Structure 1
Amino acid sequence: MVNFYKPKAVKKSINQQLTVEIKSLDMNGDGVARQGKKPIFVELALPGETVEVKVTEEKSKYLRAKAKKILVAASTRIKPVCKHFYQCGGCDLQHLDYEQQLTFKQQKISDLFRRNSNIEHLPWETALHVDIWHYRRKARIGVQYNKLNQAIVGFRQKSSNVLTPIKSCPVLPDVFADEFSDFSTLINSFSSKQAISHIEVIAAEEPLVIFRQVRKLSTEDQQKLLEFNQHKPYQIALQQDGGLHYLVTQNSPYLSYKVNGCDLQFSPTDFVQVNINLNTKMVNQAIQWLALEPQDNILDLFCGLGNFSLPIAKQVNSVIGVEGVQDMVERADMNAQANQLTNCKFYQADLNAETNDWPWLTADSENMVNKIVLDPARAGAYNAVKNIVELNVNTVLYISCDAATMARDAKVLLDNGFTLRKICLMDMFSHTRHVETMALFCR
């Protein structure tokens, strides 16, 4: 049998120049226009704009394009604060007026609830937001090397592994915002070329910079790092194979932050909320929405190192915290002891497992628990919620970092006798498309 060569069909629209009118934003913050029956998703375009675009991708059901020229600008378009915005992939929405950013994010949540639960009008409360600049207390900065073996220090471009060299970042705290050039100069002075793969910055009570080394720095280079550290308002550690080596001996291997009168310690590798000031407002609002009473017994699922558990424990009879990562459970126990809270118990369990066996919830504690806090990762809490509806609990506070999985999980609650009483947007990541939500469900 003879096989004849069939050339692949040429994508007719790739590199085509079009003039389009942007009608809306999609879930990622890209402008949406139409070419015939196909939607066109246009990076950095806003509703109400007429834009000259170049098609970069063609699929059977849609096109993607980049804006080449704004012919008619939207009234909501503003000049980005960061000079790297159009190259860096860290922020998505600096070109959009901040109040419109909040409107976009709230509409995104509304659309997901409408699709999943047929709720047309959500009981919105005022959005939580605080510092929209210099808010990000934890970030990973990339390091790459060009053909001349010179270090490039910065963040990845959108949908790319290529780094944009950064001079300053206005979403990082002041202590780190302008350190990029100094980091670059330092790395380029090392004799151990390409030893550093990335840098992590953490603005805790005592700020920390971690240099990740893929091979050990020479003694001479470590001395350069030590001298560099002597002129900086942060401590420095080297990381290799999971271990941290501080340049200056520390009294404790832990960092810390404060929330609602509690001092929480954490390891540099632990998950913590990125926006420290919004975290405080979030915990305050959680306590307010739960209407805590001294006789309450709280179940905190996906409790982490005690971010909600410990401030809540100061106001109630008892708290049971459950977390999937054993290290975090140990950290929560440690933090409870350090804050002299004896009414907390913490357990390790996979809350995403398809099981209704919760051995840490005994018959006695099950009868006592009357309010639940949920703060899952992006995967949501579907299996946990299926178990919650079987409990004799009338109040569930759900904190979400992914509106899609929250809307999915909410349907389980709503189908089992719960009502959505309150919901609010929390702008944890200003100028990005990411959405955080708090919702109160009552039965």
Structure 2
Amino acid sequence: MVNFYKPKATNKYLNQQIKIDIKSLDINGDGVGKIGKKTIFIESALPGETVEAKVTQEKSKYLRGKTKKVLISANNRVKPRCKHFYQCGGCDLQHLNYQGQLEFKQQKVSDLFHRNSDIVALPWRLSLTANEWNYRRKARIGVQYNKHKQAIVGFRQKGSNVLTQIKTCPVLPQLFANEFDDFTRLINSLETKAAITHIEVIDAETALVIFRQVGKLSEQDRQKIIDFNRQKSYQMALQTDDETELLTPQSSRFLSYQVNDCQLKFAITDFVQVNANLNTAMVNQAMQWLELDSSDVVLDLFCGLGNFSLPMATKVESVIGVEGVQDMVDRALQNANANGLTNCHFMQADLNAEDDNWAWLKKKTAQHQLTISKVLLDPARAGALNAVTNVLALDVQTILYISCDPATMTRDAKVLLTNGYQLSKIGLMDMFSQTRHVETMALFTRK
């Protein structure tokens, strides 16, 4: 048997600094250029620019690099507000002005639709925007320890699981934006500090800071955290896998937020939209696009704790909310009762289950003598392929799809577009400004 020797491919460009013209942005917001026949993706580079970049990765068909110097700058380049921007992986687009960010996100959705459908021009509406900065009412801050056993408190570095130490974060609310140094000093003062693995901050009607721990804190360290909390205007808690201990006297395990006239209560571990102002605008636009009236029966799929259901219930005959997590179903029921809404029906079901004919929904509508007229879907990033397939059998006139991942939304939209529906409206919702993340609202109507 003859063994043929195949020489190992050499890295021609790795670690070199090269000059490159940027032609476009990829779906992650990286600049795209060419070196010979290879495509190169460069962090923090914009279309129309010429940059000097260091090649950080070389594959057979593409390269990756980091901008070292901008030689010719694009008109829409701006100075990042955050001094940690080039190290921290939290934000992707602070070097691009806000209008440019919206244009990039809209083009990203358009490109995905063009790949998955025959639509030539999308019926775009004005983008929903709110705060460009200080908008995150909920965030998780990492805690790691260096070789000297000193705490690093911050967010992951770009393309890494290693944290970068943060001093200030302009997308967090003012209450928390400059708390990193105080958190770091507190943790470093603890004898059993290695038990602290991350910090969660929540700025709702009551603000809360949670220290997440995987080991046991000494009683002395626990008292230090309580003393620290006495100097702050927010509440604090310690959380393990088994329990959450509230450290602030008279504090509650539940927080709340407002959408129009509805107050929604949520637990510390519940999912809520991170951008409060944009969330209210999103709910109101959803109700406008659905053109709700008092005769409507709306099916709210992936309803969570009632973020859309409760405001819609003030406008319609009835809302049926369906959610996969029983705790969230219970919370939605509690919220409806607390707001005096008697026309809400909530139930638990696995909306991602295959080959499910939704007998549970047929039973619920028959029980209450309801005929569903409109559907709203608000799935997680995985999308709602099975749910969309089942929605077709309801034969409703109007379907509103709220998306946090344009790739899965365009996949699911193809099912609707090939089964008698048309895309009537679509719009961005900039829930995460300064980042590449895209939220979209799309209205589908019967042809």
Superposed pair shares fold, TM > 0.5 = yes
CA shift, 1:242, in A, is: 4.2
Q: Which letter maps to 2:81?
A: V
Q: Report the 3-state secondary structure (helix = DSSP H, G, I; strand = E; otherwise coil) of the residue aligned with 2:333.
A: helix
Shift of 1:17: 2.4
For residue 433 of structure 2, the aligned residue among 430, 433, 443 is 430
Cα offsets for 1:234-273 (capped at 9, x unmatched): 1000011142100124453211111111110111111100
Number of the residue aligned with 1:145: 145
Per the alignment, residue 273 of structure 1 pairs with 273
Call closer, same or farther: CA 1:191–1:4 in 2, change over 3 Å: farther
Alignment of 1:201-350 (within 5 A): 201-250=201-250, 252-350=252-350
Question: How far has the Cα of 1:286 moved from its partner?
Answer: 0.6
Q: CA deviation at 1:341?
A: 0.8
Please tell me whether the aligned partners of residues 257 and 265 of structure 2 are also in contact (alpha carbons under 8 angstroms): yes
CA contact (8 A) 1:142 1:155 kept: yes
Whole-Å separation in 1 of the counterparts to 2:127 and 2:250: 40
SS at match of 1:153: strand
CA RMSD of aligned residues (A): 1.5
Cα shift at 1:373:
0.4
Tell me what 1:395 maps to. 398
Paired AA for residue 427 in structure 2: C
- Counterpart CA distance in 2 for 1:92 and 1:242 is 35
Deviations 1:19-57 (A, max 9, x none): 110000000000000112221100000000001111111
User: Quick check: 2:229–2:248 contact (8 Å CA) kept in 1?
Assistant: no
* Percent of residue pairs bearing the same amino acid type: 68
Distance 2:389 2:180 in 1: 47
Q: 1:195 and 1:363 mapped to 2: Cα distance?
A: 49
Q: Residue 427 of structure 2 contacts residue 442 of structure 2 at CA under 8 Å; is this kept in 1?
A: yes
CA–CA distance in structure 1, aligned partners of residues 148 and 294 of structure 2: 65
Distance of 2:94 and 2:56 partners within structure 1: 23
Give, in whole Å, the separation in 2 of the partners of 1:364 and 1:155.
Answer: 45
Distance in 1 (CA, whole Å) between partners of 2:4 and 2:212 is 53
Does the 8 Å contact 1:25/1:47 carry over to 2? yes
Q: Deviations over 1:357-410 (max 9, x none)?
A: 213312682761000000000000111111111212010010000001101111
195-204 or 350-359: which moved more?
A: 350-359
Aligned to 1:70: 70
Whole-angstrom CA distance in 1 between matches of 2:364 and 2:282: 30
Q: Aligned in 2, Cα 1:239/1:4: closer, same or farther, shift over 3 Å?
A: farther
2:347 is aligned with 1:370: no
Kindly indicate whether residue 57 of structure 2 is the aligned counterpart of residue 57 of structure 1.
Answer: yes
Q: Give the letter aligned to residue 416 of structure 1.
A: N
Instruction: Please tell me whether residue 412 in structure 1 is matched to residue 415 in structure 2.
Output: yes
CA deviations on 1:315-370 (whole Å, 9 max, x unpaired) are 11111110111111111111111111111111111111112321331268276100
Q: Secondary structure at the match of 2:172?
A: coil
Higher mean C-alpha displacement, 429-438 vs 225-234: 225-234
| 2:386 corresponds to which of 383, 388, 394 | 383
- In structure 2, distance between residues paired with 1:48 and 1:314: 50
* Shift in Å, 1:10: 2.5
C-alpha distance in structure 2 between counterparts of 1:49 and 1:439, whole Å: 33
Pair 1:157 & 2:157 matched: yes
Q: Distance in 2 between matches of 1:370 and 1:46?
A: 46
> Per-residue deviation at 1:199?
0.4
Q: Which runs of 5+ in 1 are unaligned?
A: none
Aligned residues: 443
In structure 2, relative to structure 1, the CA distance for the partners of 1:47 and 1:242 (3 Å cut) is farther
Amino acid at match of 1:32: V
Contact 1:149 1:193 in 2 (8 A): no
AA at the equivalent of 2:354: E
- Does the CA-based 8 Å contact 2:235-2:251 persist in structure 1? no
- Answer whether contact 2:15 2:54 (CA < 8 A) is retained: yes
Question: In the TM superposition, what is the alpha-carbon distance from 1:6 to its structure 2 partner?
Answer: 6.8
- Structure 2, unaligned runs of 5 or more: none
- Matched residues in 2 for 1:64 and 1:192: separation? 41
Q: Describe the shift of the 1:377–1:242 C-alpha distance in structure 2 as closer, same or farther (beyond 3 A).
A: farther
